[in-house]
Amino acid sequence: MQKKVTIYDLSKILNVSPATVSRGLNDHPSISAKTKKRIALAAKKHGYITNKFAVNLTKQKSNTIGVIVPRLNSYFMSTVLAGMEQVINKVGYNLIISQSLESEEKEKINAKTLLNSGVDALLVSLSYETSNYDHFIDYTSRNIPLLFFDRVLNLPECYTVLIDNKAAGYEATEHLIHQGCTNILHISGHLKRNVYSERFEGYKNALQANNISFQEANFLETDLNPKKIDRVMKHIKNSTNKIDGIFVSSDNFAASCIKELTKEGYRIPEDIKVIGFNNDFVSEIVSPNLSTIDYPGFKMGMLAGESIIAHLNGNINLESINAITLRHKLIKRESTSK
């Protein structure tokens, strides 16, 4: 392997001090144009690569922003990251992206690794498992900006970007009611996370507003893994009262429900109407097309990126904003039609 060329190597080649090489590479006014040209040509000839991280350390910044997401193999999360990158890369920052794989322990390791890497800020969507938040104290105690998105944390000095999940859950449930459903099953993710607990609350509020009593048997808390659809199918088939509507907190899982219900002889939407959440691309591929709640992931990523950059540049103070709420949208498709 070829040895990496350093400033000290260039200084020996050019017979000037390392400080002169460094200043020349950084276009310092104290270095003549002739010397700068000599240094640039030597650097190019010998394959010198600027260590941007080392340069930024002298400026007390790394121009990197850390991101921790639950999983990368999610259409929604990929759109969020795309929105972040569009904004952040445009102003000369880079993202260091890691995934917790829904593990609190891995989330802690990622947070520590990113802290040790010298990131200027951290953006986080919490894992299913996370119940202890001490690994974020190192950021707040050092005044490193910390912003949560989607799955957020309600603590002082924690800034959030999200949608009104309670209102979205209400709207999804009420849509099923307006389509004639009276016995609606809600399939949720872990209630430890705000997105699922708030959607569940919205579901119950919609039932109450429409004089439908909530039944414990009509709620399933799951990890929304399509490979575990058997439990849901068994629950639907064994239900004492015929389930005529399903509100699922995930489009992927909702699509799996449609496929399995169809295999079992149920007609969608005639026998059971189904609505999902997120407006993933699968919602338009599954047959019948899936009604859903549009969760603007790309816009969420852009807003999170714009907010953190504006804070780092001193243009806004996130402490005065605390929370940014995006608008969701009900999308009606074949799976809930009358």
pLDDT tens digits, residue range 183-207? Answer: 999 999 999 999 999 999 999 999 9
Q: Is the peptide bond before 29 cis (omega within 30 degrees of 0)?
A: no
Q: Share the mean pLDDT of the chain.
A: 90
Q: Determine, yes or no, domain membership for 38.
A: yes
Please determine, for residue 1, whether its predicted confidence score (pLDDT) is greater than 50: no
| Max CA pair span of the chain | 88
Report d(CA 283, CA 113) in Å as an integer.
Answer: 36
User: Which 3 state secondary structure label does DSSP give 223?
Assistant: coil
**Whether residue 38 is found in the same domain as residue 181:** no
Q: Which amino acid is at 48?
A: Y
Q: Which of 109, 74, 114 is nearest to 94 (CA)?
A: 114
Q: Determine, yes or no, domain membership for 122.
A: yes
pLDDT tens column, 94-138:
999 999 999 999 999 999 999 988 899 999 999 999 999 999 988
Give strand pairing partners of 324. Answer: 161
CA dihedral 55, 304, 121, 52 (to 10 degrees): -10
Question: In the chain, what percentage of residues exceed pLDDT 90?
Answer: 70
Residue 158, pLDDT score:
74
Residue 3, pLDDT score:
64
**Whether residue 277 is found in the same domain as residue 303:** no
**Whether residue 157 is found in the same domain as residue 302:** yes
pLDDT tens column, 19-33:
888 888 877 888 898
Q: Determine, yes or no, domain membership for 1.
A: no
Give the N- to C-terminal CA distance of the chain in Å, as an integer: 68
**Whether residue 187 is found in the same domain as residue 258:** yes
Report d(CA 70, CA 303) in Å as an integer.
Answer: 19
Q: Write out the residue range of the structural domain in which residue 249 sits.
A: 165-295+330-336
Question: Which CATH number fits the domain that encloses residue 314?
Answer: 3.40.50.2300
pLDDT tens column, 269-326:
999 999 999 999 999 999 999 999 999 999 999 999 999 999 898 877 666 667 889 9
pLDDT tens column, 135-168:
998 898 888 999 999 999 876 667 899 999 999 9
pLDDT tens column, 239-270:
999 999 999 999 999 999 999 999 999 999 99
Residue bearing tokens 């400026």: 59
On whether the CB atoms of residues 182 and 169 are closer than 8 A, the answer is: no
Q: Determine, yes or no, domain membership for 153.
A: yes
